[in-house]
Structure formats: structure tokens, C-alpha cells
Structure 1
Amino acid sequence: MEKFKKVKELVSSIETDASKFYDAGNAAAGTRVRKAMQELKVLAQEIRTEVTEKKNSDK
């Protein structure tokens, strides 16, 4: 559950950069968004692995 909380925190933390990139065309903010999205991808994969392991261990 800890990693899921990190995902939520990360999404909320990049909201201002996403707004800066999409609304104001700030290229540096776009780079920060891309970096954060990569971190989200890694966290999501880790969560998927944990869920699969837990699901299979309950059988």
C-alpha cells in the first residue's frame, strides 16, 4: 500500500508542471513531467508485481 500512496503523491506533485507545459508551453516543465511519468511507470510495475505475488501466495 505504501507504493500506491507514492503514486498518488507523485501524480499530485506533477500537476503544476503539467499545467505549465500544456497551458504555457514551458519546455522545462515538460521535461519534469516526462521524468515523473517514468517514475510512475516504474512504481506501477512494482505494484503489479507485488499484487501478482500476493494473489498467487494466497492460493
Structure 2
Amino acid sequence: MEKFSKLKELVAAVETDADKFYNSGNGAAGTRVRKAMQDLKTLAQDIRTEVTEKKNSGK
């Protein structure tokens, strides 16, 4: 559950940069958004792996 909380925090943290990029055209904010999305992807994959392991250990 710790990783899931971290995922939510990361989404909340990138929200201001996403707003700056999409609404103000700030290119540097776009770079930060791209990096955050890559971090989210990695974290989401870690969560998927953890869930699969936990699910399969019960069988």
C-alpha cells in the first residue's frame, strides 16, 4: 500500500507542471511532466508485480 500512496503523491506533485505546460506552454514544465510520467510508469509496474506476487502466493 506504501507504493500506491507514493503513486498518488507523485500524480499530485506533477499537477502544477502539467497545468503550466498545457495552459501556459511552458516547455520546461513539459520536460518535468515527461519525467514524472516515466517515474509513474516504473512505479505502476512495480505495483503490478507486487500485486501479482501477492495474488499468486495465496494459491
- TM norm structure 1: 0.99
Structure 1 counterpart of 2:56: 56
RMSD (Å) for aligned C-alpha atoms:
0.3
Which 4+ runs in 1 deviate beyond 4 A? none
Gaps of at least 5 residues in structure 2 are none
- TM norm structure 2: 0.99
Gaps of at least 5 residues in structure 1 are none
**How many aligned residue pairs are there?**
59
- What amino acid sits opposite 1:35 in the alignment? K
Give the drift of 1:28. 0.0
Give the drift of 1:40. 0.2
CA distance in 2, matches of 1:48, 1:15: 23
1:25-57 Cα offsets, whole Å, 9 max, x none, are 000000000000000000000000000000000
Structure 1 counterpart of 2:44: 44
